[in-house]
Amino acid sequence: MLGPVLLAASRSDRMRRVVAAAPVTRPVVKRFIAGDELHPAMDTVRGLTTAGLDVTLDHLGEDVTDRATAQATRDAYLRLLETLRKDDLGPRAEVSVKLSAFGQALPDGGHDIALAGVREVAELATEIGTTVTLDMEDHTTIDSTLAILHELRREHPGTGAVLQSYLFRTEEDARALAVSGSRVRLVKGAYKEPARVAFQDKKDVDRAYVRVLRTLFEGQGYPMVGSHDPRMIAIAQDLAARNHRSAGSYEFQMLYGIRTAEQRRLADEGERMRIYVPYGADWYGYFMRRLAERPANLAFFLRSFLPAR
């Protein structure tokens, strides 16, 4: 029952101030966020890649309401990519972007502003030998996001996208994207969506996840399995075997700080394992959605408020 409450709180400025001001918050946030700035985050990236794990980096921020902030997001990603180039990490590290952070929702030409900004990021990513994945946000942004994906893939065919199994439309979107060269990360979904567009029951979301996973593995694209659910991981491995997919023709993705032993196990078994590494000062919305996703995350956070014994 707390999940919807936390998802609503993720968009609340008042709750943002309360949570950010709590003395115990920052140590807990460190579990999920690799740092407020790029250089501490890069220490994490180097450690993960040295250990045989790939990464995708997310400079945190969303729901931008002015053009200057959208441009600042673009510039942050360009600095990130230049740092990856300097460290020769292009083959091991890609970047994930939220188009709302690039100005997608701006009232005057937001779609075009976001496209122009992310195109510059995609150009530099291609230059250094890596790729961009477009994170999916709430259902009102999907048509714009997929249109931007279509435009970027004309010159940068490796550009990826995220699909969310809890949305009714996702099965059709998956069929359209399960084509040669297409990269698709499948997740269950982490935004509060109305019943008219999304499944509300976890069992229905899980069933939809399996159906979409099957479509992706039977297609000609590159599936990216975004899940910490042991059952979904096992189903994905079974689908890979059934469809004669070799190692490297798909991958698993998990969030930084969650199920680290499982991340290591899959990598040790020869699976391609990519860690979603977020960093940046604008961590609140991301952090609250992580709490909403799993009761264990929330319990971990609440325990930090208790006095030491």
Known catalytic membership, residue 112: no
Q: Give the three-state DSSP class for 200.
A: coil
The contacts of residue 120 (CB under 8 Å, 6+ apart) are 74, 78
Residue tagged active-site, from 135, 173, 206, 282: 135
The contacts of residue 226 (CB under 8 Å, 6+ apart) are 162, 185, 186, 187, 253, 254, 276
Q: What is the DSSP string of 21-85?
A: H-TTHHHHHTTT---SSHHHHHHHHHHHHHTT-EEEEEE------SHHHHHHHHHHHHHHHHHHH
Instruction: Name the one residue in this structure whose structure tokens are 């599936």.
Output: 223
Residue tagged active-site, from 74, 119, 185, 290: 185
Known catalytic membership, residue 58: no
Kindly state the DSSP code that residue 136 receives in the 8-state scheme. -
User: What residues are annotated to the active site?
Assistant: 135, 185
